[in-house]
């Protein structure tokens, strides 16, 4: 950790000692405000970004130096001028009225220690600098130099819309440097093995009566993965578990299902099957569905984890050790014989957590289940015995989300302690700690190639981390509220994020750019999922709706030229209405989870709330 990042509290706060005359603060601020509001339109939008960080720092400086009445009047006079998306921060700020309050307030410490990033064109910056130096307005100039990081670019100033799209996070925008690193967003090559043909396939013989060759059948399914993707990471960049025979069997099943997959599009929308949790007075807080859609799990506020079978096949535990020793290990149906019929039931309840369960995740092979809780632990459960195998202790505070890697073995968790941790099932300690967010890590997701992890946070940013070395390789700013859902597109190139601001933002990972904004939801978006081939993005929200968006259209002909990448002049098309393919209301059920089956049926889940 760089020493600068985590300075001693007193050292941080003492930076506020070099104070000006407290009675002049309002004058300084209103002078600057007047200057910016009278500047040319092209500069005004850019310079207006200064209002908020200067307001906060000047207010904190007054409080720190115990000018309480001046601080109060400064706050009252100018807090109404700030952008609406800073309201929550201002509420916290208004409660800090004494020097003592500042010591224990993490948000403010972060604001103090991390430099607020503003992206401004050279012309606007020169204008500001000249103004402040002419006025000898040292107080403001000191704050600008001490607490702000001005990322200057050459070229046209950005418009109000372009700036509004990107700002709103706790620490301003991302520095342009932050999104320059190379990201291997391509998919790993699938292992090759023959797909045995079904009986029904063999009937389709061609005219001469010769059976069809096996080759073409296999190609049509596996052709995508034959060629190495140029953007993919090296196959062995991070060690991934070997495929077991059962995994291969599952892959074959998956390919057969995929052959029957429905091709979705604007003309062919998916059917949606909604699982409503009725009478869930325990308080449903998390849901997950297995990849093959055979099981569904709910995490509840009463600290239980409940697993249901959603197929006619009931859930069974393995027999006791004494009974297992009697079984003939060589028999063909040994896997069937080890299950104890007496334990068969549709529902299993797992007890162990001592607080609400906020996240659940099935392993890809369906042998394990993860759950994370307010009690600060992540638990790994066996779906063979329905007992807890391990409790992972690393977060000392509530853990908000956890997810298995698409290849199993690794998993990620994120919590109130503002870091995400990467674990492996057979290690007690985390393998990586991803630190950098300025507030709770609210959601975590693996990239389809398992080399990267995306985290969304209450600091209103999304970060992409490299599993190999723990580095942060992307910082995405633009949401105006805490982020609660993330989804990678199946091809690994794009990321969709949803937040309390009711907006879904779309990001191009390779270029590190925002490429779209989907407006329509009126409340927090808790669920996002791409269809299996990435044609459709489904979003589920607290506003009791599921919405379907045209993902193909959203990502086609993107303007990702180098200039845009370099300066962040993004022009988002106002086309939410063209991209929205459908809105589906529930009676009174907020949508907590979405899942596309292997054949592209959309499953949704939530708990009925009688309002």
pLDDT tens for residues 116-163?
Answer: 888 899 999 998 888 888 876 677 888 888 888 888 888 888 888 888
Q: Identify the residue whose tokens are 């000898």.
A: 136
Residues across the chain = 611
- Whether 575 has a pLDDT exceeding 80, the answer reads no
455, with CB counted inside 10 A (0-12, 13-18, 19+), is buried
The answer to whether 515 touches 558, Cβ cutoff 8 Å, is: yes
Helix and strand numbers, DSSP H then E, in the chain: 19, 31
Most confident of 216-220, 221-225, 260-264: 260-264
pLDDT at residue 327, rounded to an integer: 77
Strand-pairing partners, residue 463, are 455, 475
- Which is more confidently placed, 99 or 404? 404
Distance CA 391, CA 399 (A): 13
Predicted confidence band of residue 563 (pLDDT cuts 50, 70, 90): low
The answer to whether 335 touches 318, Cβ cutoff 8 Å, is: no
pLDDT at residue 567, rounded to an integer: 62
Average pLDDT for 67-83: 87
pLDDT at residue 561, rounded to an integer: 57
Q: What is the 3-state secondary structure (H, E, C) of 537-606?
A: EEEEECCCEEEEEEHHHHHCCCCCCHHHHHHCCCCCCCCHHHHEEEEEECCCCCCCEEEECCCCCEEEEE
Q: Identify the residue whose tokens are 């509004």.
A: 164
pLDDT at residue 82, rounded to an integer: 85
pLDDT at residue 503, rounded to an integer: 93
- Which is more confidently placed, 138 or 428? 428
Average pLDDT for 375-394: 94
Domain locations in the chain as residue ranges: 18-173, 272-558+570-606
Distance CA 414, CA 433 (A): 10
- Whether 61 has a pLDDT exceeding 80, the answer reads yes
Predicted confidence band of residue 5 (pLDDT cuts 50, 70, 90): very low
Most confident of 63-77, 459-473, 559-573: 459-473
- Two domains, one topology: 18-173 and 272-558+570-606: no
Distance CA 147, CA 57 (A): 8
pLDDT at residue 611, rounded to an integer: 67
Distance CA 184, CA 450 (A): 11
pLDDT at residue 217, rounded to an integer: 38
- Which is more confidently placed, 453 or 141? 453
Q: How many CA atoms lie within 13 A of 599 on its CB side?
A: 10
pLDDT at residue 208, rounded to an integer: 42
- Whether 197 has a pLDDT exceeding 60, the answer reads no
Average pLDDT for 411-434: 95
Architecture, CATH, for domain 18-173: Alpha Horseshoe (1.25)
Predicted confidence band of residue 202 (pLDDT cuts 50, 70, 90): very low
The packing angle between helices 138-147 and 122-134, to 10°, is 140
The answer to whether 296 touches 314, Cβ cutoff 8 Å, is: no
Q: How many CA atoms lie within 13 A of 418 on its CB side?
A: 12
Tokens of 20: 């000006």
> What b/e sequence results for 109-124 when a residue is b if at least 16 CB atoms lie within 10 Å of its CB, and e otherwise?
bbbbbbbbbbbbbebb
Would you say the C-alpha torsion 166, 172, 173, 174 has a positive or negative sign? negative
Q: How many CA atoms lie within 13 A of 492 on its CB side?
A: 21
Distance CA 45, CA 123 (A): 13
Please name the residues in contact with 185: beta carbons below 8 A apart, sequence gap of 6 or more.
231, 447, 449, 452, 492, 493, 509, 510
Q: What are the angstrom distances between the C-alpha of 301 and each of 282, 283, 375, 500? A: 6, 5, 11, 21
Distance CA 131, CA 241 (A): 61
> Strand 305-309 vs strand 347-350: parallel, antiparallel, or unpaired?
antiparallel
Average pLDDT for 239-264: 89
Predicted confidence band of residue 581 (pLDDT cuts 50, 70, 90): very high
pLDDT at residue 223, rounded to an integer: 42
Q: How many CA atoms lie within 13 A of 494 on its CB side?
A: 27
- Whether 432 has a pLDDT exceeding 60, the answer reads yes
Longest dimension (CA), the chain: 97
CATH 2.130.10.10 fits domain 272-558+570-606: yes
- Whether 92 has a pLDDT exceeding 70, the answer reads yes
- Whether 11 has a pLDDT exceeding 60, the answer reads no
pTM over 0.75: yes
> Which pLDDT tens digit goes with each residue over 14-51?
555 555 677 778 888 888 888 888 888 888 888 888 88
- What share of the chain has pLDDT > 90, as a percent? 45
Predicted confidence band of residue 378 (pLDDT cuts 50, 70, 90): very high
- Which is more confidently placed, 217 or 464? 464
Which candidate, 560, 561, 535, places its Cα nearest to that of 549?
A: 535
Long-range residue pairs from 18-21, CB within 8 A, at least 24 positions apart, any chain: 18/142, 19/61, 19/65, 19/139, 20/138, 20/139
Most confident of 83-92, 306-315, 446-455: 446-455
Predicted confidence band of residue 363 (pLDDT cuts 50, 70, 90): very high
pLDDT at residue 19, rounded to an integer: 57
User: How high is the mean pLDDT of the chain?
Assistant: 85
């Amino acid at each position: 950790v760089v020493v600068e990042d985590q300075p001693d509290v007193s050292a941080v706060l003492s930076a506020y000692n070099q104070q000006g005359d407290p009675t002049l603060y309002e004058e300084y601020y209103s002078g600057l405000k007047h200057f910016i509001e009278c500047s040319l339109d092209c500069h005004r939008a850019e310079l207006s970004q200064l209002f908020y960080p200067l307001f906060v720092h000047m207010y904190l400086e007054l409080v720190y130096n115990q000018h309480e009445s001046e601080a109060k009047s400064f706050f009252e006079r100018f807090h109404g001028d700030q952008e609406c998306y800073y309201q929550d921060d201002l509420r916290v700020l208004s409660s800090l009225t004494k020097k003592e309050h500042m010591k224990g307030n993490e948000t403010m410490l972060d604001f103090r220690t991390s430099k607020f990033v503003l992206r401004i064109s050279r012309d606007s910056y020169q204008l500001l600098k000249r103004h402040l130096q002419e006025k000898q307005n040292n107080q403001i100039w000191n704050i600008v130099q001490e607490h702000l990081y001005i990322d200057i670019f050459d070229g046209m100033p950005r418009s109000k819309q372009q700036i509004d799209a990107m700002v709103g996070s706790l620490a301003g925008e991302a520095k342009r440097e932050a999104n320059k690193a190379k990201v291997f967003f391509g998919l790993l090559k699938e292992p090759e093995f023959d797909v045995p043909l079904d009986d029904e396939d063999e009937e389709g013989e061609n005219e001469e009566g010769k059976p069809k060759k096996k080759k073409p059948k296999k190609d049509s399914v596996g052709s995508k993965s034959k060629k190495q993707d140029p953007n993919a990471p090296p196959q062995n960049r991070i060690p991934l578990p070997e495929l077991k025979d059962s995994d291969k069997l599952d892959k074959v099943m998956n390919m057969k299902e995929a052959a029957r997959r429905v091709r979705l599009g604007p003309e062919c929308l998916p059917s949606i099957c909604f699982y409503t949790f009725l009478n869930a007075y325990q308080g449903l807080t998390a849901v997950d569905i297995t990849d093959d859609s055979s099981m569904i799990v709910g995490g509840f506020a009463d600290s239980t984890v409940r697993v249901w079978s959603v197929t006619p096949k009931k859930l069974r535990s393995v027999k006791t050790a004494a009974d297992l020793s009697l079984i003939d290990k060589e028999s063909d149906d040994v896997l069937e014989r080890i299950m104890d019929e007496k334990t068969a039931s549709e529902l299993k309840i797992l007890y162990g957590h001592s607080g609400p369960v906020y996240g659940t995740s099935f392993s890809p092979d369906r042998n394990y289940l993860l759950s994370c809780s307010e009690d600060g632990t992540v638990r790994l459960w066996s779906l063979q015995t329905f007992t807890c195998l391990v409790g992972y202790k690393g977060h000392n505070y509530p853990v908000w989300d956890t997810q298995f890697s698409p290849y199993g073995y690794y998993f990620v968790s994120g919590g109130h302690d503002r870091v995400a941790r990467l674990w492996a099932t057979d290690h007690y300690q985390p393998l990586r700690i991803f630190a950098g967010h300025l507030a709770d890590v609210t959601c975590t997701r693996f990239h389809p190639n398992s080399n990267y992890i995306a985290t969304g946070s209450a600091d209103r940013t999304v970060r992409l981390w490299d599993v190999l070395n723990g580095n942060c390789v992307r910082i995405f700013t633009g949401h105006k509220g805490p982020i609660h859902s993330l989804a990678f597109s199946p091809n690994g190139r794009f990321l969709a994020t949803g937040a309390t601001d009711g907006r879904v933002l779309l990001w191009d990972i390779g270029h590190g750019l925002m490429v779209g904004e989907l407006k329509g939801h009126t409340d927090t978006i808790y669920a996002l999922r791409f269809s299996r081939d990435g044609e459709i993005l489904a979003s589920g929200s607290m506003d009791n709706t599921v919405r379907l968006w045209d993902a193909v259209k959203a990502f086609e002909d993107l303007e990702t030229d180098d200039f845009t990448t370099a300066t962040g002049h993004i022009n988002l098309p106002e086309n939410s209405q063209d991209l929205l393919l459908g809105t589906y209301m529930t009676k009174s059920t907020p949508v907590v989870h979405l899942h596309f089956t292997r054949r592209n049926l959309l499953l949704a889940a939530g708990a009925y709330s009688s309002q």
